[in-house]
Amino acid sequence: MSLVLDARQRAMLLEMGVHVWQPLNVPESQALLTDSVSPPPRAEVAALALPVAPIAPMAEASQPVSPEPTLRAPDPLPGPTRLTELASGIAHMDWPALTEVVRHCQACAMCLGRRTPVLAAPRQTSACDWLLVGDPPDEAQERAGQPFVEEAGQLLDNMLRAVGVQRWNHETGADQGAASRAYLTHVLKCRPALMRAPSASELSTCAHFLRREIILTQPRVIIAMGRFAMQLLLSETPSEQARLPLGKLRGQVWRFAGVPVVVTYPPAYLLRNGQDKARAWADLCLARAVATGSLATP
């Protein structure tokens, strides 16, 4: 739709500060007709003109123009960005002190970019017959701040109940009628922002916390569930044996910090490989025999 203005209308708009350009597609005859009309007297235009707000002058070309803001991804969740010394006195800490130190630990590169460490420590010192040690936490465990959660955690809880063991409730400490209780933890407490395998040095650094957890829980047996848990808990075993695959190391009793160790498959692995559940059940039965003293250990 085109707008055709005669000379009088254009003069009125001009007085109001509105500049109008004649469209190119106006027929020549019509353009000539409009041009032939003489403009009205200036007084008449002034009488018909409406008051308008003044138009701000345009910025000079020499003045700098602020660039448009660019969109960017939101900042990542806060997390450690540098390393510090390992806290001293870990070997003598109680649960609250150990929890606080783990929360702020930046002693190895595995902490860089983490959201929260994973440690389900009880509120007070209490012995647990079983200590289960898993591999470094995954995303679900970091999000929950708890070891062995979701479907893998449910499978593990069911397997433990089948041998008369109850997961230690870190909030209430209730046994819920179980014959034995198990404290669950990870070989490393942090999940780094960039997932990678931990080094032997990083495992050794975080082992200070695990050794204190062993002292505080006083377990009768430790279950190593996963490759990295096995790597640390069998570090006191001759290296030619410790380098064997998990399947070759299960079914035997090892030792770490003076406590018997049984190696088995992690529950997340069993969800993908159901054929090995029978072997994992045999490992838990072996651990129960060790914990109850019905099996003599070297």
* pLDDT tier at 4, thresholds 50, 70, 90: low
pLDDT digits (tens, 9 = 90+) for 27-69: 444 444 444 444 445 444 444 444 444 444 444 444 444 444 4
d(CA 218, CA 198): 27
pLDDT of residue 289: 96
* Tokens (6 digits) for 265: 């498959």
User: Looking at the whole model, is its pTM more than 0.75?
Assistant: no
Domains of the chain with CATH codes? 1-37 (no CATH), 90-292 (3.40.470.10)
d(CA 245, CA 165): 27
pLDDT digits (tens, 9 = 90+) for 107-155: 999 888 888 899 988 877 678 999 999 999 999 999 998 999 999 999 9
Sign of the dihedral through C-alpha 269, 270, 272, 273:
positive
* Tokens (6 digits) for 280: 């994992």
DSSP 106-153: -SSGGGTT-S-------SS----SEEEEESS--HHHHHHTSSS-HHHH
Residue 224 has pLDDT above 70, yes or no: yes
Amino acid in the structure at residue 133? V
Residue 265 has pLDDT above 80, yes or no: yes
289/40: higher pLDDT:
289
> Is 7 exposed, middle or buried (CB count within 10 Å of its CB: 0-12, 13-18, 19+)?
middle
* Tokens (6 digits) for 271: 């969800």
Cβ 16 vs Cβ 52: under 8 Å? yes
Where is 223: in which H helix or E strand?
Answer: strand 221-225
pLDDT digits (tens, 9 = 90+) for 68-113: 444 343 343 456 677 889 999 999 999 999 999 999 999 999 888 8
